[in-house]
Amino acid sequence: MNNQAAKLKDYMENKDIKNFDDIGKDDKSKQSRIIAVASGKGGVGKSTLTVNLALALRDLKKDVFLIDSDIGMANIDVLLGLNTKYDLNHVLKGICTLKEAVETGPYGLNVLSGISGIDNVLNISNDNIKHLLKGVTEIEKNYDVILLDTGAGASQSVINFTTAADEILIVLTPEPTSIMDSYSLIKLLSSSHYRGKLHLVVNRVDSKKEADSIIDRFITTARKYLDLDIDLLGTIPDNKLIAKSIKKQNPVFKLYPESEVNDQFLKLAGNLIGQELDLPSRGIKSFFYKLIGQIAPGR
């Protein structure tokens, strides 16, 4: 058993789940980064962003494991067109191990599907989460990054999953409700004494000016009133190609490889791993993909 797994085993036998964010913070033998992707409200494109970010990380030669930890409203399997034997519910209940539940999806992306439409698991127990996290320590040496696509909002399950991660990536959109709900989420994280890294991605932006205004206000307010430092990873434009890819159950990162939105996902991935990318000019191909993105379906 490696040091990280041994530490977790000892922790689970003696501590409470509320302090899971302490696990591994000072353990230099840790093999992978566990990053929870969260949002203050639903409908901001969090899961779509997570899938495409995972594929961008793989494009940068990183081994990635994607866990859909949304309880009741999971959709990673739908976005990837997957039919899986096991899902998160089987792991939480101990029906199978996390390693047994890993499914190799499209483009070699390893995935654990989430739970959809089951009301009686909305408030999963501490023992359930402990079982899942124990499984993570057993397989983390195989991955550079483990992404947890959490549920939207700030339910107890979301807080448990996010505070168990080394880092949290907050996804918001320019809508006032998204900004306020995301602030409420990080306020709860602050009150839970979360000490991991916080990242920010602004999704569905119409212009750089709009994005810059949101970013400046959000990061400044979090620092001033919550004493939290948030790292900006980047922005993703409001692009019709993303909507088309969702309908086709095929990630935009693979369906439209020459589109400019792909460059944004690569930049996010590069910023996340500290890798500066020299992306090529898209030229005439970029023009045509822009044109496609402006044409409404059915015209």
Any idea which residue has 């020299």 for tokens?
Answer: 278
How far apart, in whole angstroms, are the C-alpha atoms of residue 194 and residue 20? Answer: 10
pTM of the model: 0.81
> Residue 298 above 70 pLDDT?
no
How far apart, in whole angstroms, are the C-alpha atoms of residue 233 and residue 224? Answer: 20
Query: Which CATH superfamily hosts domain 33-294?
Result: P-loop containing nucleotide triphosphate hydrolases (3.40.50.300)
How far apart, in whole angstroms, are the C-alpha atoms of residue 196 and residue 167? Answer: 5
Model pLDDT, residue 214: 94
Instruction: For residue 268, give both structure tokens.
Output: 């996010």
How far apart, in whole angstroms, are the C-alpha atoms of residue 38 and residue 68? Answer: 11
Instruction: For residue 262, give both structure tokens.
Output: 């792909």
Question: Which range has the top average pLDDT, 3-12, 85-94, 156-165, 213-222?
Answer: 213-222
Average pLDDT value for the chain: 82
Model pLDDT, residue 91: 86
Side chain identity at residue 180, one-letter code: M
> Residue 280 above 70 pLDDT?
no
Question: Closest Cα partner for 150 from 32, 81, 272, 47?
Answer: 47
> What are the E-state strand segments in the chain?
33-39, 64-69, 71-72, 103-104, 110-112, 115-116, 145-152, 167-172, 197-205, 230-237
Q: How far is CA 227 from the centre of its chain?
A: 23
Q: Is 282 helix (H, G, I), strand (E, B) or coil?
A: coil
How far apart, in whole angstroms, are the C-alpha atoms of residue 216 and residue 141? Answer: 37
Which is more confident, 232 or 140? 232
How far apart, in whole angstroms, are the C-alpha atoms of residue 271 and residue 102? Answer: 27
Q: Give 146's DSSP letter.
A: E
Give the residues across from 32 on adjacent strands: none
In the chain the first and final C-alpha atoms are separated, in Å, by 59
Model pLDDT, residue 126: 63
Give the residues across from 234 on adjacent strands: 201
Side chain identity at residue 206, one-letter code: D
The secondary structure of 200-230 as a DSSP string is: EEEEEES-HHHHHHHHHHHHHHHHHHH---E
Do residues 12 and 134 make contact, with C-beta atoms less than 8 angstroms apart? yes
What's the angle, vertex CA 287, arms to CA 50 and CA 263, rounded to 5? 25
Summarize pLDDT for 122-143 with one digit per residue, the tens.
456 667 767 777 788 888 889 9
Do residues 260 and 288 make contact, with C-beta atoms less than 8 angstroms apart? no
How far apart, in whole angstroms, are the C-alpha atoms of residue 266 and residue 37? Answer: 17
Q: How many CB atoms lie within 10 A of CB 216?
A: 11
Q: Where are the domains of the chain?
A: 33-294
Q: CB within 8 A of 78, min separation 6: which ones?
A: 249
Report the percentage of the chain scoring pLDDT > 70: 79
How far apart, in whole angstroms, are the C-alpha atoms of residue 225 and residue 234? Answer: 23
